[in-house]
């Protein structure tokens, strides 16, 4: 019994399909608790007013935007080394979710930044890094879409994910360096996190757990869909071979 048994597509589907409703159920519980608690049952912060409450969406989505890429990197490595199809398809399935999380993080950041900084957008290192992360997601998804052969696509996107990860980290340091003259010290969002008191922290934990579960559920569901699409293609090709 090893974990790699679940890398068999059929076993993966059989195991995860019954789990998905439970994962989404837990997601709903965490998000409802976290968001209701966070939005309605916490005091307004002195410096931020009610705008601070956007952290309950902003912080978890930003975390998941990065975690999704990290998961894709691990899945790509597993595909390149062990050639498990499920791994490659899981990476493919995670990319659009990661991109959506990036967009949510950017959007909520802009909505928060408008009242706080008086601008929808600033070339703050953190914001800029997320913008670049979004571009990496776009390129990754576009490469998957462009290559007709699924195994070739899995190989090439994995190589891109590896190289992209290095350059994404480099970009993070580059933008930090590039804009150090404008923003002294940590950014506002960082302040909020550092000074956060327990009152805000517990609901935030629920929201983060909710986003992790949401991501997990979506990845399982989308990976299942990708596996079924591959199976459909495999069966179609086999039918063509047999009738030929």
| Residues forming the site for another protein (CB under 8 A) | 8-9, 85, 132, 135-136, 138-139, 142-143, 146-147, 149-152, 155-156, 159-160, 162-164, 167-168, 170-171, 173-175, 177-178, 227, 230-231, 233-235, 237-238, 241-242, 244
**Between 22 and 177, whose beta carbon lies closer to another protein?**
177
Minimum CB separation of residue 236 from another protein in Å reads 10
Which CB sits closer to another protein, 120 or 178? 178
CB nearer to another protein: give 16 or 42: 16
CB under 8 A, 24+ apart: contacts of 227-235: 227/9, 227/12, 227/13, 227/85, 227/86, 227/89, 228/13, 230/9, 230/85, 230/89, 230/150, 231/9, 233/150
DSSP 147-196: -SSHHHHHHHHHHHHHHHHHHHHHHHHHHHHHTTTTS-SS-HHHHHHHT-
- Measure the N-to-C terminal CA separation of the chain; round to a whole number of Å: 40
**Please, what is the minimum distance in Å from the beta carbon of residue 140 to another protein?**
9
Residue 14 Cβ, how far from another protein at the closest point, in Å? 14
Closest approach, Cβ 195 to another protein, in A, equals: 30
CB nearer another protein, residue 32 or residue 170? 170
Please give the Cα distance from 244 to 242 (Å, whole number): 5
């Amino acid at each position: 019994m090893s974990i790699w048994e679940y890398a068999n597509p059929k076993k993966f589907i059989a195991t995860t399909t019954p789990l998905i409703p439970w994962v989404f159920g837990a997601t709903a519980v965490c998000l409802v608790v976290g968001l209701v608690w966070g939005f309605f049952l916490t005091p307004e912060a002195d410096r931020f007013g009610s705008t601070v409450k956007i952290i309950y969406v902003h912080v978890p989505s930003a975390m998941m935007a990065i975690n999704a890429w990290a998961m894709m990197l691990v899945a790509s490595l597993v595909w390149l080394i062990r050639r498990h199809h499920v791994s490659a398809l899981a990476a493919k399935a995670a990319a659009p979710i990661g991109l959506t999380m990036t967009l949510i993080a950017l959007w909520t950041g802009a909505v928060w930044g408008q009242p706080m900084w008086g601008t929808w957008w600033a070339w703050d290192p953190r914001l800029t890094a997320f913008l670049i992360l979004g571009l990496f997601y776009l390129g990754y998804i576009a490469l998957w879409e462009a290559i007709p052969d699924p195994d070739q696509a899995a190989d090439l996107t994995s190589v891109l994910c590896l190289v992209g990860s290095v350059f994404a980290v480099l970009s993070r340091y580059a933008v930090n360096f590039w804009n150090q003259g404008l923003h002294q010290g940590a950014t506002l969002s960082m302040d909020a996190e550092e000074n956060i008191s327990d009152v805000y922290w517990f609901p935030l934990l629920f929201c983060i757990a909710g986003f992790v579960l949401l991501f997990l559920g979506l990845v399982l569901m989308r990976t299942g869909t990708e596996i079924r699409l591959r199976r459909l293609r495999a069966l179609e090709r086999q039918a063509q071979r047999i009738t030929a």
